[in-house]
């Protein structure tokens, strides 16, 4: 039975709001650490003697290991809770951020980035677990938009900040500075957060009633129905869609600064702000997509509400990328790529909200599966760019591949139905 709110009871406390702010800070630190290497890449390549192809593999080392450990880390968050999961995740990736500054060549840099990805895997699925337990269902689309917006804004603000730090101190101390921030967050999270709102000493009865009345999950997950997961067509379509959408995202996170310098003739001071434009656009796009989804859902249903922003945004994003490939002016190219990034971002927050709907108590595993495929796309993207530049001498070929996968992602949205929930098939037991 859902808890009822007593109108004469004390006003609800706002611990759930602080929980949201804590996850936003965590994701902001994650992206600050993650995109630092893209701005530092020219300096790293010059000092360590790394080729474009090798740098592409360094970028992809993170995304590959991150992708492969998404489902195990999502399961870990479902099984043991987001408190221990996020503490482990943030402490691990912070150590690897600092260790990036100790790399002495391609092999050591590749190994550190591989370990970085293993450590950071599960940050978003564990956040989904937090939201499923602490927040009303009607706000999830919007709040996933805010969460991913925080990631993109952090990445955008990192660009000029890293330029300043690398110019002043060099790339090695810069990674050590950023690594220290995560340890502060991890210690604070472990001491303050509780997986179950009922166990948090600062949550009063009115806030607890409000959380439970809003449809927050209270049931603990049972055995993961792996066969049902593998056969769920909505989840398969979500995974394929996210592969195409995130493939383009990782160009902005990795190669964009180098593209602006070498293809369009920018200097390092210009790159910091131009490279930030697509990430600022992503921040706006993911928030608007979540807001549109939440606004349309009561009247049109979740299926139509979730797919509408993506079906509008992704085809237009493909057109914008193709336009960027045809211009020589750096500012025009950056604006077109920013438009593409923001338009493609419209479908991101609704996808995460659908994972909670489809996954139920297995939200961590379902979001982990979708994010795994997205980051497999993110793994492929930097490698494709490096190979095209080294072997073909072309920056336009990878841009065309981004546009093509945006169109594929749009088609995948037609097969996503939130009514196709993950249901474990009962196993007959002998009597």
* pLDDT tens digits for range 166-183: 888 888 998 988 888 899
CB burial of residue 206 (10 Å; 0-12, 13-18, 19+): middle
Report the alpha-carbon distance of residue 162 to residue 177 in Å, rounded.
Answer: 11
| Residue 76 and residue 89 in contact, taking contact as beta carbons nearer than 8 Å | no
Mean pLDDT of 312-340: 90
Confidence of residue 2 (pLDDT cuts 50, 70, 90): very low
Residues of the chain above pLDDT 90, percent: 25
Q: What is the pLDDT of residue 9?
A: 53
Of 191-205, 223-237, 298-312, minimum mean pLDDT range: 223-237
Q: What is the pLDDT of residue 242?
A: 94
In angstroms, the Cα distances linking 108 to 30, 100, 104, 114, 228 are: 21, 9, 6, 10, 40
Q: Is pLDDT at 357 greater than 70 in this prediction?
A: yes
Cβ of 311: how many Cβ atoms within 10 Å? 16
Q: What is the pLDDT of residue 431?
A: 41
Going by the DSSP 8-state scheme, the letter that residue 277 receives in this structure is: H
Q: Is pLDDT at 219 greater than 60 in this prediction?
A: no
Q: What is the pLDDT of residue 269?
A: 65
Of 79-83, 141-145, 248-252, minimum mean pLDDT range: 141-145
Mean pLDDT of 305-309: 89
Report the alpha-carbon distance of residue 155 to residue 288 in Å, rounded.
Answer: 18
Q: What is the pLDDT of residue 217?
A: 55
| Residue 23 and residue 29 in contact, taking contact as beta carbons nearer than 8 Å | no
Mean pLDDT of 419-430: 57
Whole-number mean pLDDT of the chain? 83
Helices (H) and strands (E) counted in the chain, each on its own, are 19, 0
Q: Which two tokens stand for residue 147?
A: 């969460």
Q: What is the pLDDT of residue 218?
A: 54
Report the alpha-carbon distance of residue 152 to residue 93 in Å, rounded.
Answer: 18
Cα-based angle 199, 89, 282 (whole degrees, multiple of 5): 100
Confidence of residue 330 (pLDDT cuts 50, 70, 90): confident
Mean pLDDT of 141-164: 76
CB burial of residue 157 (10 Å; 0-12, 13-18, 19+): middle
Confidence of residue 1 (pLDDT cuts 50, 70, 90): very low
Q: Is pLDDT at 251 greater than 70 in this prediction?
A: yes
Query: Which string of DSSP letters, residue by residue, matches 89-125?
Result: HHHHHHHHHHHHTT--SHHHHHHHHHHHHHHHTTHHH
CA nearest neighbour of 361 among 228, 221, 218: 221
pLDDT digits (tens, 9 = 90+) for 85-144: 999 999 998 999 999 989 989 999 999 999 998 988 888 888 888 888 888 766 666 677
Crossing angle of helices 233-253 and 330-344, rounded to 10°: 160
Report the alpha-carbon distance of residue 89 to residue 101 in Å, rounded.
Answer: 19
Q: Is pLDDT at 215 greater than 80 in this prediction?
A: no
pLDDT digits (tens, 9 = 90+) for 284-297: 898 889 888 888 88
| Residue 190 and residue 80 in contact, taking contact as beta carbons nearer than 8 Å | no
Q: Which two tokens stand for residue 412?
A: 């995948």
Q: Is pLDDT at 164 greater than 50 in this prediction?
A: yes
DSSP H/E element including 427: none
Q: What is the pLDDT of residue 139?
A: 67
| Residue 121 and residue 329 in contact, taking contact as beta carbons nearer than 8 Å | no
Give the distance between the most distant pair of CA atoms in the chain: 75
CA nearest neighbour of 314 among 292, 341, 281, 335: 341
Q: Is pLDDT at 430 greater than 50 in this prediction?
A: no
């Amino acid at each position: 039975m859902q808890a009822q709110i007593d109108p004469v009871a004390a006003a609800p406390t706002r611990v759930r709001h602080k929980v949201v702010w804590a996850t936003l800070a965590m994701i902001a630190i994650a992206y600050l650490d993650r995109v630092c290497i893209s701005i530092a890449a020219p300096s790293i390549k010059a000092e360590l003697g790394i080729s474009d192809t090798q740098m592409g593999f360094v970028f992809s080392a993170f995304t590959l290991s991150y992708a492969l450990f998404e489902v195990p880390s999502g399961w870990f968050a479902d099984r043991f809770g987001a408190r221990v999961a996020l503490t482990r995740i943030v402490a691990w990736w912070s150590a690897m951020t600092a260790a990036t500054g100790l790399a002495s060549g391609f092999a050591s840099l590749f190994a550190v980035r591989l370990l970085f990805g293993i450590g950071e895997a599960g940050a978003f699925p564990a956040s989904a677990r937090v939201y499923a337990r602490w927040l009303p269902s009607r706000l999830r689309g919007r709040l996933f938009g805010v969460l991913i917006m925080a990631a993109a804004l952090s990445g955008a603000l990192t660009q000029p900040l890293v330029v300043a730090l690398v110019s002043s101190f060099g790339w090695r101390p810069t990674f050590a500075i950023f690594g220290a921030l995560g340890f502060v967050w991890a210690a604070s999270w472990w001491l303050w957060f509780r997986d179950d709102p009922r166990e948090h000493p600062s949550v009063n009865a009115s806030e607890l009633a409000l959380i439970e009345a809003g449809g927050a999950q209270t049931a603990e997950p049972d055995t993961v129905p792996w066969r049902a997961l593998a056969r769920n067509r909505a989840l398969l379509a979500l995974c394929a869609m996210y592969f195409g959408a995130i493939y383009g995202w990782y160009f902005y996170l990795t190669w964009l600064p180098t593209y602006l310098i070498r293809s369009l003739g920018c200097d390092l001071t210009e790159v910091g702000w131009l490279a930030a434009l697509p990430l600022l656009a992503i921040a706006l796009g993911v928030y608007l997509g979540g807001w549109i989804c939440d606004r349309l859902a009561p009247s049109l249903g979740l299926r139509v509400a979730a797919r509408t922003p993506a079906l509008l945004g992704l085809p237009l994003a493909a057109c914008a990328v193709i336009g960027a490939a045809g211009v020589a002016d750096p500012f025009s190219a950056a604006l077109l790529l920013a438009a593409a990034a923001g338009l493609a971002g419209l479908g991101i927050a609704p996808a995460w909200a659908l994972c909670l709907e489809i996954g139920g108590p297995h939200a961590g595993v379902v979001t982990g599966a979708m994010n795994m495929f997205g980051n497999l796309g993110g793994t492929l993207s930097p490698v494709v760019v490096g190979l095209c530049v080294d072997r073909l001498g072309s920056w336009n070929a990878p841009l065309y591949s981004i546009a093509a996968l945006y169109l594929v992602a749009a088609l995948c949205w037609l097969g996503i139905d939130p009514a196709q929930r993950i249901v474990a098939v009962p196993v007959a037991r002998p009597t």
